């Protein structure tokens, strides 16, 4: 039997304790900007103590040394493992250390750490479970960027909105804040990235999302994006991650609907072929039509089986996530007692 989710009272009790916010920074060869980003992060956010974590994803320059010199805790992967893996490292650290909130900000200087108080406010004040900076919700704050990149962001946001069943204006921005419920329940499985997958996951779990219009630099000052440098690869892997999380939440929507459409079409095709045989005493010239109907029914049955297996997998995943959430709350409560 699945454990019961935390009640509102359990979460509200956290606000009477000394709370901690983790500001987590993914980094890969960011020696030119990492110190400035770390030094600009506020020492406290709305009464919560701040700790800075840098997750180094295989840097070969002086990123680690400069991050440590600036006062951040550094966890190094040793080799490049992808932004999705970096996010899971940040999430595990926040859970294991009993943090109530986690903010993520990039190390390349495109985000202004001085915007953290505005971004964290709705989460810490319990007006939202998750907040994310948006470059596009306010046209006056939309940064200068290549037309193709802006078009791609708009298409991704539209797709994420459809899969998440909620309107999202900016689905790829990594400047975000996670509250206790989001920290407890969010999941990510992609190695390549996490931004779209996490949004869909959080929305499908019914958590409160707030988009905050923030002024962000449209382009990096140094180097090129490690994620979107190859747009076709980025699009392919992002769609793969989004599909994975979406069908995990709604397997019957992704497999069941086409399954029943295929079986229905196959039934109609074979019914017509059978009627023709009964009337004419032969199948010609609809032999291929009848065979096509049999194939449609067969593929439909296979998709039903896929939907059933995926549904069982989704149920097991939800149960494991609830167990993880319970353990995370236990560690958090222990850390403030």
The residue segments making up the domain with residue 235 are 8-249
Q: Are residues 218 and 286 in the same domain?
A: no
Q: Are residues 237 and 258 in the same domain?
A: no
Q: Are residues 99 and 209 in the same domain?
A: yes
State the first-to-last Cα distance of the chain, in angstroms, to the nearest integer.
29
Indicate whether 6 pLDDT > 90.
no
In order of 120, 125, 175, 227, the CA distances from 40 in angstroms are 15, 23, 15, 24
| Closest among 195, 37, 47 to 123, alpha carbons compared | 47
Q: Are residues 126 and 233 in the same domain?
A: yes
Q: Which of the four pLDDT bands, split at 50, 70 and 90, describes residue 242?
A: low
CB 299 within 8 A of CB 262: yes
CB 159 within 8 A of CB 166: no
Domain boundary among 207, 228, 249: 249
Indicate whether 224 pLDDT > 70.
no
Structural domain contains residue 333: no
* Confidence at residue 15, expressed as pLDDT on a 0 to 100 scale: 46
Give me Rg for the CA atoms of the chain: 24
Encode pLDDT of 124-178 as tens digits. 999 999 999 999 999 888 888 878 888 888 888 898 898 888 999 999 899 999 9
Cβ density class 57-92: b for 16+ within 10 Å, e for less: bbbeeebbebbeebebebbbbeebebbbbbbbbbbe
Q: Are residues 194 and 270 in the same domain?
A: no
Kindly report the three-state secondary structure assignment for every residue of 231-276.
HHHHHHHHHHHHHHHHHHHCHHHHHHHHHHHHHHHHHHHHHHHHHH
Q: Are residues 302 and 187 in the same domain?
A: no
How many domains does the chain contain in total?
Answer: 2
243 vs 201: CA distance, rounded Å: 11
| Closest among 28, 39, 45 to 99, alpha carbons compared | 45
* Higher pLDDT, residue 99 or 233: 99
Encode pLDDT of 280-293 as tens digits. 888 888 889 889 99
Structural domain contains residue 168: yes
Chain centroid, CA 24 distance in Å: 16
Indicate whether 336 pLDDT > 70.
no
CB 247 within 8 A of CB 202: no
In order of 10, 133, 207, 237, 332, the CA distances from 16 in angstroms are 11, 27, 22, 42, 13
Structural domain contains residue 326: no
Q: Are residues 227 and 256 in the same domain?
A: no
Burial of 25 (0-12, 13-18, 19+ CB in 10 A): buried
Crossing angle of helices 287-335/83-96, nearest 10°? Answer: 40
Structural domain contains residue 55: yes
Q: Are residues 217 and 279 in the same domain?
A: no
Structural domain contains residue 1: no
CATH number of the domain enclosing 189: 3.90.550.10
Structural domain contains residue 2: no
Structural domain contains residue 334: no
Domain boundary among 249, 272, 306: 249
Q: Which of the four pLDDT bands, split at 50, 70 and 90, describes residue 306?
A: confident
Least confident of 195-199, 228-232, 328-332: 228-232
Domain boundary among 234, 249, 264: 249
Q: Are residues 208 and 271 in the same domain?
A: no
Encode pLDDT of 13-24 as tens digits. 444 457 899 999
| Whole-structure pTM value | 0.75
* Confidence at residue 62, expressed as pLDDT on a 0 to 100 scale: 96
Average pLDDT on 213-217 reads: 89
Q: Are residues 241 and 269 in the same domain?
A: no
Structural domain contains residue 284: yes
Q: Are residues 267 and 142 in the same domain?
A: no
157 vs 150: CA distance, rounded Å: 11
Burial of 184 (0-12, 13-18, 19+ CB in 10 A): buried
245 vs 80: CA distance, rounded Å: 23
Q: Which of the four pLDDT bands, split at 50, 70 and 90, describes residue 243?
A: low
User: pLDDT over 70 for what percent of the chain?
Assistant: 85
Number of residues written out for the chain: 337
* Confidence at residue 235, expressed as pLDDT on a 0 to 100 scale: 65
Q: Are residues 95 and 228 in the same domain?
A: yes
Least confident of 7-21, 51-65, 259-273: 7-21
């Amino acid at each position: 039997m699945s454990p019961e989710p935390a009640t509102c009272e359990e979460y509200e009790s956290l606000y009477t304790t000394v709370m901690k916010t983790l500001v987590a920074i993914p980094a890969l060869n960011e020696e030119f900007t990492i110190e400035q980003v770390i030094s600009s992060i506020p020492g406290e956010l709305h009464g919560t103590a701040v700790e800075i974590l840098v997750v180094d994803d295989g840097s070969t320059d002086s990123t680690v040394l400069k991050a440590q010199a600036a006062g951040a805790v550094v966890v190094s992967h040793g080799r490049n493992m992808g932004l999705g893996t970096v996010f899971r490292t940040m999430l595990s650290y926040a859970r294991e250390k009993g943090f109530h909130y986690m903010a993520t900000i990039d190390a390349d200087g495109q985000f202004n750490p001085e915007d953290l108080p505005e971004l964290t406010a709705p989460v810490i004040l319990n007006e939202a479970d998750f907040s994310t900076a948006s470059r596009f919700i306010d046209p006056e704050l939309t940064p200068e960027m290549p037309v193709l990149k802006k078009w791609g962001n708009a298409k991704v946001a539209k797709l994420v909105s459809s899969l998440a069943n909620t309107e999202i204006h900016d689905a790829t921005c990594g400047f975000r804040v996670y509250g206790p419920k989001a920290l407890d329940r969010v999941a990510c499985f992609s190695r390549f990235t996490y931004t779209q997958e996490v949004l869909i996951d959080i929305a499908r779990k019914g958590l409160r999302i707030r988009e905050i219009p923030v002024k962000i630099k449209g382009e990096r000052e140094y180097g090129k994006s490690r994620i979107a440098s190859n747009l076709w690869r980025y699009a392919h892997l992002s769609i793969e991650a989004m599909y994975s999380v979406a069908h995990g939440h709604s397997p019957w929507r992704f497999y069941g609907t086409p399954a029943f459409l295929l079986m229905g079409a196959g039934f109609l095709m074979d019914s017509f072929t059978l009627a023709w045989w009964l009337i004419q005493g032969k199948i010609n010239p609809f032999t291929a039509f009848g065979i096509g109907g049999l194939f449609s029914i067969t593929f439909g049955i296979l998709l039903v089986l896929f939907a059933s297996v995926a549904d069982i997998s989704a149920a097991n995943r939800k149960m494991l996530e609830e167990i993880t959430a319970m353990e995370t709350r236990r560690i958090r409560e222990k850390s403030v007692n």
